[in-house]
Structure 1
Amino acid sequence: MKKIILTGSSSGFGLQAVKTLAAKGHTVYATMRNINGSNAATASELKQWAADNNAHVEVIELDVASNESVKNAVAEIAKHSGGIVDVLINNAGVSYLGTGETLSIEQTEMLYQINTIGPERTMKAVLPYMHKQKAGLIINVTSVQTRHFIPILSTYNGTKAALDAVSVGYHYELKSSGIDVVTIQPGAYQTTDITTKSIKADNADVEKYYGTDTLNFQEALLKFFEPTTDSRDPQEVADAMLALVEMPAGQRPLFTVVGGGPQTANFEKVNELIKEIADITWGVLPQAYGLA
């Protein structure tokens, strides 16, 4: 059974993944912010669920946007785990649906800090343990928006595309060290908190300068994210995480699209091309300079 660190465990994909992974016998370090504040009730409920189901879950305070918080959390987890970190799942994230201009630069920085830099921060914190083990798995939750740059999600798209690119680099850099780095690219799951926890723009008044084409698209996108009886079940994403965790090392796919909808085949084609180009470059470049 694996010892797993999962960020963003207070709701959405993360909360379901904690229960899915722990129910299969894995030890899950469910990390989230404000376990004694805004997330106190969730933390308490998760602990009770673990006790009721004889599951191995530890709730740990961790803010991916803070160097000190990540350092302290990973050190605490290492004490609990005997220094073993088998899996890191970077699930924590924040969304924004709206025109990019409505965000202040501070809010744009926050989005990148949480969605892009945060996962690199946690990766750097756990990699020393994985190097010592000569084994490990890092799963970065990105988005199908890394292949589908639709308007009204412009800044969010950028944060997830950056994480996707980072993940490709780490995938190749670490594979000979016995560490798998892969991504999950979820589609739209309306029953999660993507809209309810979306940040509120500081500069919303600038929308008065925009045409009806942009505003109509924004309204339609917001309606698209309203839950219906036909909305996909976010359990699909938790199940994809479990499948990757239990897959043999070295055999995990770099990209996993989940809930991509009617464009799934196109997303997967793009993923195949990116992987093909990266594979060729990885093999050819050292040969070109007599290093292989």
Structure 2
Amino acid sequence: MASTTDSKPLVWPITGCSAGFGKSLALLVLKAGHHVITTSRNPPCSPHLVKKVEELGGIWLPLDLTSSKEEMQKVVEQGTSKWGRIDVLVNNAGMSILGALEDFSEQEARLVMETNFFGPVKLIQTVLPQMRARHSGIIVSISSGAGVDPSPAMGMYGASKWALEGASQGFAKELASFGIRVLIVQPGAFTTNMMNAVTLTKKDASVDYKGTVVEKIVDVFRNSGNFKAPNDVEKGCQGIFEVVTGTGRGAGKEGHARLVLSQDIAQRTVEQTKRNTDALEAFREIWENTGHDSGVAKSTADIESEAGSR
């Protein structure tokens, strides 16, 4: 598997580099001596940033995650032609539309899923052939606290992140035999542009949601200038870099597939895990008694275990 112990720098395509985690991680990686293919929907919107990336040796390419797989292939080929390979794919770009789930139009729901789930999956599929051929590579899926426990008004965003996490866990099991690592990163509230970048459903919350937690959370985003995030994006990106490269605090921990990136999400993870465990115990009498009365059939877990032991 690729690591910083290799004689050559790693090649990192990173999506969503115009701000936030994408921007900070791209600059950190470039300054560490690696190669970066930075992407965003519209690079000319960030001319000074594009120039800075290029001065550090990176390249910047336009990429819309709602575009076709063929368009993504062109971007990957452009990046690969410069350095010959892809080592670390970081699926960072994303978007959010907030509101009560029943107020979402089909178009709004599809846009969230296309950007946060189908786009990253298509990009992963595009880079996998060359990673499999080399038996080396790392795929990083940037999820969210909503991938742990979505707040009210963030259900659709949470659905897209849960889908990305589920696919990433599936990829991790399928690709392990090819020496490819998959890492799910779960950031909490960081000082990024997300608060200003989110949009709300075109349909206003119905009267029944007035005064509920849904309205209160939407109001927080409407008045995002008053919101102060507790976490520093630069520190978060340093953590991602160390875990991906197996250096510093990430040394010797390559076997772990999930990186909780802030104290607020760590606490939500503990609470969600407890709720799951409590439910497991509450319904033990049911799930312990669903098997066939005659004989024992194999489950997918049995098949997976047998395959892994060969």
With the shorter chain as reference, the TM-score category is 0.7 to 0.9
1:27 corresponding residue in structure 2: 35
One-letter identity of the residue aligned with 2:243: L
The match for 2:198 is 198
Counterpart of 2:198, as a letter, is S
- Whichever residue aligns with residue 11 of structure 1, its letter is A
The answer on 1:79 being equivalent to 2:81 is: yes
Q: Aligned partners of 1:156, 1:127: CA distance in 2, in Å? A: 26
Structure 1 residue matching 2:163: 3-state secondary structure = helix
| Correspondence for 2:112 | 111
> For residues 260 and 99 of structure 1, do their structure 2 counterparts lie closer, same or farther at Cα, with a shift above 3 Å needed?
farther
- Which residue in 2 is equivalent to 1:217? 216
Gaps of 5+ in 1: 275-280
Conserved? CA contact 1:188–1:225, under 8 Å: no
Please name the residue that 1:239 is paired with: 238
In the alignment, which residue of structure 2 is the partner of 1:285? 303
Whichever residue aligns with residue 21 of structure 2, its letter is: F
Match of 1:11 among 15, 19, 22: 19
- Seen in structure 2, the aligned counterparts of structure 1 residues 220 and 66 have a Cα distance that, compared at 3 Å, is closer
Asked if the contact 2:95/2:198 (under 8 Å) is kept, the reply is yes
Residue 67 of structure 2 corresponds to 66
Equivalences for residues 26-65 of structure 1 within 5 A: 26-35=34-43, 40-42=44-46, 44-50=47-53, 55-65=56-66
Q: Secondary structure at the match of 2:18?
A: coil
* CA positional deviation for 1:176: 1.2
Per the alignment, residue 278 of structure 1 pairs with none
- Is the 8 Å Cα contact of residues 236 and 259 (structure 1) preserved in structure 2? no
Are the counterparts in 2 of residues 6 and 28 from structure 1 also a CA contact under 8 Å? yes
What is the alpha-carbon distance in structure 2 between the residues aligned to residue 27 and residue 282 of structure 1?
A: 40
* Deviation per residue, 1:163-222 (Å, 9 max, x gap): 111111111111110000111000012x31212211342222x43342422455335643
SS at match of 1:176: helix
Give the TM-score of the pair, scaled to structure 1: 0.83
Deviations 1:233-280 (CA, angstroms, capped at 9, x unpaired): 11133112211231179815211011241x514516867999xxxxxx
Rate the CA distance shift 1:286–1:96 in 2: closer, same or farther, 3 A: closer
Larger radius of gyration: 2
* Alpha-carbon contact 1:244-1:252 (below 8 Å) kept: no
Q: CA RMSD in A?
A: 2.9
3-state SS, counterpart of residue 64 of structure 2: coil
Residue aligning to 2:295: none
2:16 and 2:92 in contact (8 A); partners too = yes
The whole-number CA distance in structure 1 between the counterparts of 2:176 and 2:133 is 14
Note if 1:2 corresponds to 2:14.
Answer: no
Q: Specify which of 231, 250, 256 is matched with residue 253 of structure 1.
A: 256
Q: Structure 2, unaligned stretches of length 5 or more?
A: 1-8, 278-298
